[in-house]
Every structure is written in C-alpha cells, then in structure tokens.
Amino acid sequence: MLELRDRQNTLLAIALTAATVAYLGWKVVESPEQALQFAFNGLSVGAIYALLAMGFTLVYSTVWFFDLYYGAAAAIGAYGVYYLRSQEALGGQYEVSHPSLNIAFGVITAAVVAWALHTRYYRRLSRRYGERTVTVAGGVIAVLAGLYMAVVLTFPTEMNTLLSPALGAIVALIVYAVVRRGYRATFGAPEPAAVVAAATAVGVLAGGAIALAVAGAAGSRLYLSWAVSCVLAGAVGLALYRGLYVYMLERARSPLIMLVATLGVLLALTAATTIVFEATPRPLPDAFGSDPWTIGGANIKGFNVFTIVMAFVGFAGLWVLLRRTSFGKSVRAVGDDEEVSKVVGINTTVVIAVVFFIGAAYAAFAGILTGHDTAIQPRMGLLLLLKGWIASVVGGIGNLYGAIVGGFVLGMIEQFGIWDLAGEWRDVVSFGVLILFLSFWPKGLLPRRD
C-alpha cells in the first residue's frame, strides 16, 4: 500500500514538474523581459524566505516544538531599525524614542549578560577569587551592559560614536584570538610571551582603527542599527527560553502547550508593537542599492542582489557552525536526543539558549531586509513566520539544505504563480503549495536524514 502511494506521489510530482516547465517555457517565449523580472523577484523574495527557514529549522530541529516568537523576532528587527533611524531619516521632525522601551531592553540585555557570565565563567573564577567577588563583579558588568544598551537606544543619532568602542573591542579580541590560534596551529606548541604580546598589540591596533573609522562614519548608523536590532531580537529570544520556556518544559512536556504559550508571546508582542508604533504601515530609510538597474528589460535593485547574497552567506555561516565546531556537534546531539546529551555532559540549556539567540537574529535580519523593500506593520511577523514555515516544509523540515532550497523554490513559485493574477493572490499560491506538500510530500524536497 505504501509502495503504491509512493509511486502515485512520484507520478504526480513528475506530472506537476512537466506542467510547470511547459507553463514557464510558454511564458518565457511570450514575454522574456517579464519572465526575467519575475525570476529576479522570486530570487529576492526567496532569499528572505530562505533566511527565515534556516533560523526556523535551526530552532525546530533542536527543541522540536514550534516557537512562534520567531515571527515577533522578525518584527522586532524591522521596527528596531525604524525606532533607531526614523528621527534622523525625517530630519528630526519625528521622534519615536520611548524611555520605558529603552529601559526594558536595557534590563533584558543586563539579564542576558549576567546569565552568560554566570554560565561561562562563574564556576572557574569563583574558585580563584571567591563566590562573592565574582558575583558582584558579574553583576556590575551586567548592569553596565544594560545601561550601555539603554544609552545607545536613547541617543540613536550618536550611534556610531557610542558603538565604536564596543566594535573596536570585539575586533581586538577576534584578532588576538586568531593570532594566538594561528601560532598554535602552525607550530603545534603553546605560544611564547612574545607572541602573546604581538597578538595583543595587533589586536589593539586593529580594534582602534575600526573604532576610529566607525566613529567618523555617520553613514554607518543605519547598518549599525541592523546589528543592534538583531542583537535585541536574539536577546529577547534567549531570555524567553531561559526565563520562561525552560520552566514550562519541565512542567508540561507537550508540544501543544508550548505552541499555545509561544502563540501568546507572539500575540502579546504584536499588540505591544501596535500600541507603541500604531498600526499604520511605516517605511524604513533607504539603504544602499535602492536605485534600480535595467538588465534585459527587467528592473533590478542592488539591495535585492545583496539580499540574495546574504541568504547564501547565512547558509554558509550556519553550515560551518553546525558541521565544523564543537558547539555545532552539541547542537546536533541535543536535536537527536536531549536526555542522552545531558548524560554525556552537554549543558543542553546553554546550547538551546544560544540556538534561540541565533534563530531570532536570523529572523530579525530577514525582517530588516523585508522592511527595506516594503513598508513594515505590526502584524508582519505572523506572515513572515508562516512563510518561513512553508519554506521549511517545502525544502524538508529539519534539514538546513532543505531550508535554503525551500526558500528559493517558494519565492519562485509565488512570483510565477501570479503572472496572470493580481498580486494579492501571492499568499493564496503560498498556502496552496503548503497544502499540496503536506498532502503528498510531507517530508519535503530534501528530507531530513535521521
């Protein structure tokens, strides 16, 4: 019976593929310029869907429940950029700063930093310096981090100046670590004091140069707001998991309960966004590459090319993280069996919390890219969540390769599916594809390998 059903599904897939190829061939011959335009639009939209699907797949394949906050994270990313840049974009005529919102995100940042310090360094440092000293020092650092974030949100027009020291410090630490690890990898021995000193000097010089460059580049504020918005969305996602989801999972191990709980989070954050920013659609400031190019009769924006490239960069980053790092091995182990992972010594709570941070950051970035291409509105997160989920289903839910393939396939189907229809039919096409795949190919194009 199963073999007969599989054979029927295969024949249906062949028939649909042949019909699609024939339809596209006819349309390409009929209007090559319009076909090129639809193809580029499909790649551009598909890149956003791919980013959403990759983050969604990462989270789902680790915890195996649908975190609907993911949609709110996309909205936080888009509205974060609007919040930080609207005043400057409108020449100071409109100010969207809310002190209570700044304080709330400052508190979330402080809580996340405190948790990270306690998890990463507390046990080791407390043996050397004492528990009380380490606790007080960690608390001070967390409070300063929260204040720093609140100040950045309060004075967005000075963002490049305020963030330049942090960026310089990050670059300095990265260069320092790369030089030291490079020496160890090359010579297979611990680095001497001279190499440590050289690594420190190179790191300080590189970090200082970056800090000065960013501080003097007023045009970097928009793109710094991207980073801040992604960090905030990730911090909220981590805080929700560590502060809420962990306790709910301990008391009720039902995916349905988690689905309802995260739906409540999504609706609450959507309502809060509506209260703060109103339901009126808002534009984001123009990014680079906003002027269209004309290629083969089609209008193509440089920013949309950037979006497509970012989808592949995001895929490469996740692939390296999951396949070439010890953290990635831990993530895959937790996804396979969380209880066994605990037995072998993996701190599953930390691993999953970091996964929630990364997934939310991907969603936020996808929301930002969407916002620069179309107006943003508070309920945008729900639609983006659904599109990311559909792309995951099409590609093969739980499979990173399927996520990027499903995103681009969905984008192309959407665009070519409305060739002879109004644009409002785009969502109808998407959900029709979802029903089709759930009915006949629930494992998607690239099923996850167990």
Query: Hey, CA dihedral for 70, 75, 78, 80, is it positive or negative?
Result: negative
Q: What is the pLDDT of residue 390?
A: 92
Tell me the domain boundaries of the chain: 39-95+219-440
Q: What is the pLDDT of residue 6?
A: 66
pTM score, whole prediction: 0.91
Q: What is the pLDDT of residue 194?
A: 82
Q: What is the pLDDT of residue 93?
A: 43
CB atoms within 10 A of CB 264: 12
Do 368 and 81 meet the contact criterion of CB atoms below 8 Å apart?
Answer: yes
Q: What is the pLDDT of residue 151?
A: 92
Task: Report the SS3 class of residue 399.
Answer: coil
List, for residues 123-144, the tens digit of each pLDDT value. Answer: 777 877 788 888 888 899 999 9
Higher pLDDT, 445 or 93: 445
pLDDT over 70 (residue 398): yes
- The overall average pLDDT reported for the chain is 86
Mean of pLDDT values over 95-109: 84
Query: Hey, CA dihedral for 365, 369, 371, 372, is it positive or negative?
Result: positive
List, for residues 225-255, the tens digit of each pLDDT value. Answer: 999 999 999 999 999 998 888 888 887 767 7
Mean of pLDDT values over 281-301: 82
Q: What is the pLDDT of residue 92?
A: 46
What amino acid is encoded at 449 in this protein? R
C-alpha–C-alpha distance, residues 156 and 103, integer Å = 14
User: Does the domain spanning 39-95+219-440 belong to CATH 2.40.128?
Assistant: no
Name which of 18-27, 275-284, 379-388 the model is least confident about.
18-27
Do 437 and 82 meet the contact criterion of CB atoms below 8 Å apart?
Answer: no
Do 408 and 47 meet the contact criterion of CB atoms below 8 Å apart?
Answer: yes
What is the maximum alpha-carbon separation in the chain?
77
Query: Hey, CA dihedral for 290, 418, 71, 44, is it positive or negative?
Result: negative
C-alpha–C-alpha distance, residues 112 and 239, integer Å = 6
Query: Hey, CA dihedral for 422, 424, 430, 431, is it positive or negative?
Result: negative
CB atoms within 10 A of CB 57: 29
